[in-house]
Structure 1
């Protein structure tokens, strides 16, 4: 090592030593007891650890509206980044009739809807795509033609709680 490099290293060590000495941490008989020297520096218990990061309760990025996770067959209503209702079991679109991914507005609601293409009731329909995808009461044992099937109580809750224009986010 060059003399200049050694001098630089020694000066940093000296600065650390002087600073530590000024605080009473070096050469004053400090022990692990939390007191230094004649009691000039007294440390209390260590500070508490930082709080854990806030984990969003759903896989969606919206803070108000409905969140649907197709891979887990669950949905939630969220208000201000908090779960207001759910998770609720769902069924969704079968192969060839997949429920689309994305964020959509609630477009309309029909309490006693009837599906003409599939010739069946769709109570408590809350539509959120132009192509006719909706939350509604339906079988939780059979996949749908793209809609989100809910149990009767949940379908009614979504119908009465979600407002026109409110967000519905569908994630994989």
Structure 2
């Protein structure tokens, strides 16, 4: 519901109820002039809002006699006034409810964005939070372009170094001679320590294990010279 349509709604409601009143007044005049005593019901306005239409249907009929207007005309006027008041109040309640819903949604999105934002310096290209087990790749200006994604660091006796480093080399088919084990999509940023494909349930000897898909993306996005920040 737009703010412009909401602001016009009370005026529409008023018009929808007052128009039949004007029409009834015309009928009264005609009835008095002709001496008719035929009861005249409140006319319905084509296109009126459902709530207004219901209110109109419950407004008492007016009886016009040769001697003038029946006292029920006052009842009609009072009922019409109450109908306008109710519909304006309902429209205002709906507007406030919609505003509250939008504010709640904006707050939820802001909280989600904050929770997923990289906690590192905005100038680094790769950010790692060991305690959260998450990592991010950014554009080097504070905007996340990939992540957060899962990462697992080294064991307690061989922890992943913490600090800010630079990518030194990368090798898509690296094989560790020290451990005689393949380390696909290796991106080194510290001597002997790299991002690479590995188990996310078994800690490494200092490297950062990634899933196969994440390691391929990180390998494609990081290059020698790019900065990497590792947080505790």
TM over 0.5: yes
| CA deviations over 1:50-79 (Å, ceiling 9, x no partner) | xx9x96921101434100000011000011
- Superposed structure 1 runs of 4+ greater than 6 Å apart: none
CA contact (8 A) 1:63 1:82 kept: no
Question: Does the 8 Å CA contact 1:112/1:125 hold for their aligned counterparts?
Answer: yes
Number of the residue aligned with 1:111: 172
Within a 5 Å distance, the mapping from 1:74-113 to structure 2 comes to 74-79=134-139, 80-113=141-174
1:163 aligns with 2:223: yes
Q: RMSD over aligned Cα, in angstroms?
A: 1.7
Match of 2:45 in 1: none
Alignment map for 1:129-168 (pairs within 5 Å)? 129=190, 131-168=191-228
Normalised by the length of structure 1, the TM-score is: 0.66
1:123 aligns with 2:181: no
Matched-pair contact (CA < 8 Å) for 1:76–1:83: yes
* Separation in 2, partners of 1:107, 1:168: 11
Q: Distance in 2 between matches of 1:96 and 1:62?
A: 30
Distance across 1 between alignment mates of 2:224 and 2:214? 18
CA distance in 1, matches of 2:145, 2:123: 11
Q: How many residues align?
A: 119
- The whole-number CA distance in structure 2 between the counterparts of 1:150 and 1:112 is 15
Structure with greater strand percent: 1
Secondary structure of the 1:158 match is: helix
Alignment of 1:13-32 (within 5 A): none
Quote the offset at 1:118 in angstroms: 1.4
Normalised to the residue count of structure 2, the TM-score between the two structures is: 0.49
Paired residues of 2:124 and 2:229 also in contact (CA < 8 A): no
Structure 2 residue runs without a partner (length 5+): 1-109
Work out the CA distance in 2 between the residues paired with 1:162 and 1:61: 17
- Written as runs of structure 1 = structure 2, the 5 A alignment for 1:4-43 is none
